Amino acid sequence: MTTSSRADHAPKPVPKPAPRPAPVPPTSPQENRVPDTAWFTHDRFGMFVHWGLYSLAARHEWVKNREKLTDEQYQVYFDHFDPDRYDPLQWARTAKAAGMRYVVLTTKHHDGFCLWDSRLTEYKVTRTPHGRDLVGPFVDACRAEGLKVGFYHSLIDWHHPSFPVDGTHPQRDDEEFKAAAADRDIRDYQRHLHGQVRELLTGYGRIDYLFFDFSYAGRAWWGGKGADDWDAPRLMAMVRELQPHILVNDRAGLPGDFVTPEQYQPSAPMTVDGRPVLWEACQTLNGSWGYDRDNLDHKSPDLLIRMLVDGVSKGGNLLLNVGPNGRGELDPRDTAALAEIGRWTGLHERSVRGCGPSPFTPPADCRYTQRGDRLYVHLFAWPLRHLHLPGLEGRVRYAQLLNDASEIVQVPPATGPAMNTQMGGQPPGTLTLQLPVRRPDTPVPVIELHLN
């Protein structure tokens, strides 16, 4: 068996992963307001961290809503919040080793509890037994590891005394509570919200990414709130003025820099009103964002890697969540999955980093990603001996398995009667690769094709 391209590949330079985009210099509000999205589409993979008082309840971050807990009942977690094993450098290193390049921390979740020393509330970490700011050390740790810094911030607030009771509020069925809350003025809450976002975006230097949570265009389905309730135009304007380069999602109810499909994989590159948009799927490891001790619904590393690849093949990012426990430590089940993902990304980084969709159409059970003249075939199932790639005949000068750089032989195109007997009558223009019978021992094998 010969390859169609053995002769012409020898002197070609060895490709390296696409260079990281040059860091964007700090900008002043007067300068360029168009945020630079290059790092986001290059990096492709980030870590989401859901951490707060609910981590002590250890049964989902919506526990206050689900169990309709009052402030008094929920107070027990505040009184016992003392994450003595908090080590953000460890988080950052875990993220980096998994192949993630940015980390997004819940500064405040729906329960209203703040992980920083906000001047605008007493409902914050510095009033708990822990008594120290958590956000600063997080930001420093990310920077020390060369990771981009992201903040999640909940627009919803189940603790603030001016937040009107809506369909998500823990006291939504408590008539007495609702009667007493009838005159709550959301404009008071808006001032608080805007003030807190200002604190976060002025207190910690450059912040690369902001995830507001949440309202959607059609808000009626959950009887909740939307852009008007947050005074979203002013809020977004302030964000862009304070951090002109920041990337913001669309969950304040206004278009942002990217959209955030939650716990599903889109079936194609995403569009809004017919126009392509940047997108990032946020996904959990086990269905819960906050630490959920008894939840055993963990996705396998193999599935998680396929989700990452599937997203990149459709032009999207993956923001994969961990829920540290009440002592501040990552769950060993999570770190084991991340380590496994890291073993894969270590070998296959260049098939996702800096890559995006390919104009070619992959065969069944495969995903294509592409960066320049490199086309990456991700095999979600291992075929028997031959892999047929429509439209690629004569377009590939070299093919190799990415995990060990072992050559993959191209079967010369068959002609005449041999066409039917040898290769089952593939359509003209199909490239056939001859694979080893044994699948490489890696969750998702990748073939790197060097295109002509």
Q: Contact positions toward ligand GLC, by CB under 6 A?
A: 50, 61-62, 213-214, 262, 282, 289
**What stretch of H or E contains 51?**
none
Tokens 């716990």 map to which residue? 263
CB 319 within 8 Å of CB 48: yes
Q: Nearest approach, Cβ of 50 to ligand GLC (angstroms)?
A: 6
323 vs 326 by CB, closer to ligand GLC: 323
Closer residue to ligand GLC (CB): 123 or 211:
211
Closest contact distance (angstroms) between CB of 284 and ligand GLC is 8
Q: Which is nearer to ligand GLC, 63 or 312 (CB)?
A: 63
* Min separation Cβ 65 and ligand GLC, Å: 9
DSSP code per residue over 60-91: -TTHHHHTT--HHHHHHHHHT---TT--HHHH
CA 283 to chain centre: 7
214, two tokens: 């949440």
Least Å from the CB of residue 232 to ligand GLC: 16
Q: How many residues does the chain have?
A: 452
User: Which lies closer to ligand GLC via its Cβ, residue 281 or residue 402?
Assistant: 281
Instruction: Please state the closest distance from residue 288 (CB atom) to ligand GLC, in A.
Output: 9
Q: How far is the CB of 59 from ligand GLC (least distance, A)?
A: 13
Residue 248 and residue 243: Cα distance in Å, rounded?
A: 10
Tell me how far apart the alpha carbons of residues 125 and 118 are, in angstroms, rounded to a whole number. Answer: 9
Closer of 326 and 445 to ligand GLC (Cβ): 326
Comparison of 287 and 424: residue with beta carbon closer to ligand GLC: 287
Closest CA to 110 of 66, 155, 73: 155
Dihedral sign (CA 93, 98, 103, 109): negative
Question: How far is residue 446's CA from residue 438's CA, in Å, rounded to a whole number?
Answer: 14
Please give the span between the terminal C-alpha atoms of the chain, in angstroms, as a whole number. Answer: 21
